[in-house]
């Protein structure tokens, strides 16, 4: 029986994209920093990472979809933060963003890691952007690296 599993190895020619919202900048910038440090720490050259900024989480899937369709990238990381408020807006944005990321990944066959936080309170976001629960930007980058390498094996 064959066994396939991605590794955290990087092809020197590989390019990656980070699509990040500008909304909740303190949180999202920490996620972006975590993703960048993880990528470079695993051998990805700084010039091989493109940062694409969008207004908010609602706009992330469109930018991810276009970037994925461009053929330039081995994987894309989506980073953002949606905090529950007093209206249903939270559910609309968080759920549709997640669905849009999945659709972009399945439509293009390109790995897209979901590092868009959907949290109850700002304190929850802080805990996941370098606090007590780690940095979800780092986790998104690790997933992107592993899936990029796995997809190469499955071609």
- What CA–CA distance (Å, rounded) separates 130 from 137? 9
Residues annotated within a binding site for 5-amino-6-(D-ribitylamino)uracil: 23, 57-59, 81-83, 114
Check: CB of residue 90 under 8 Å from CB of residue 82: yes
- What CA–CA distance (Å, rounded) separates 46 from 26? 22
Q: Is 89 a catalytic residue?
A: yes
- From residue 130, alpha-carbon distances to 10, 74, 115, 117, 139 in Å are 24, 26, 13, 13, 11
Query: Among the options 89, 92, 122, 133, which is catalytic?
Result: 89
For the CA atoms of 55, 83, 113, 73, what is the dihedral angle to 10 degrees? 10
Active-site amino acid positions: 89
């Amino acid at each position: 029986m064959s066994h396939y599993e991605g590794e955290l190895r990087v092809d020197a020619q590989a390019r990656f994209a980070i699509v990040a919202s500008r909304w909740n900048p303190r949180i999202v910038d920490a996620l972006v920093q975590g993703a960048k440090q993880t990528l470079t720490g695993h051998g990805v050259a700084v010039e091989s990472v493109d940062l694409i900024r969008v207004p908010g989480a609602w706009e992330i899937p469109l930018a991810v979809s276009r970037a994925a369709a461009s053929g330039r990238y081995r994987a894309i990381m989506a980073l953002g933060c949606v905090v529950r408020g007093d209206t249903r807006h939270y559910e609309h944005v968080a759920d549709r963003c997640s669905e849009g990321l999945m659709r972009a990944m399945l439509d293009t066959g390109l790995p897209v890691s979901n590092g868009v936080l959907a949290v109850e309170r700002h304190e929850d976001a802080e805990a996941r952007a370098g606090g007590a629960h780690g940095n979800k930007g780092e986790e998104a980058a690790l997933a992107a690296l592993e899936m990029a390498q796995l997809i190469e094996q499955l071609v």
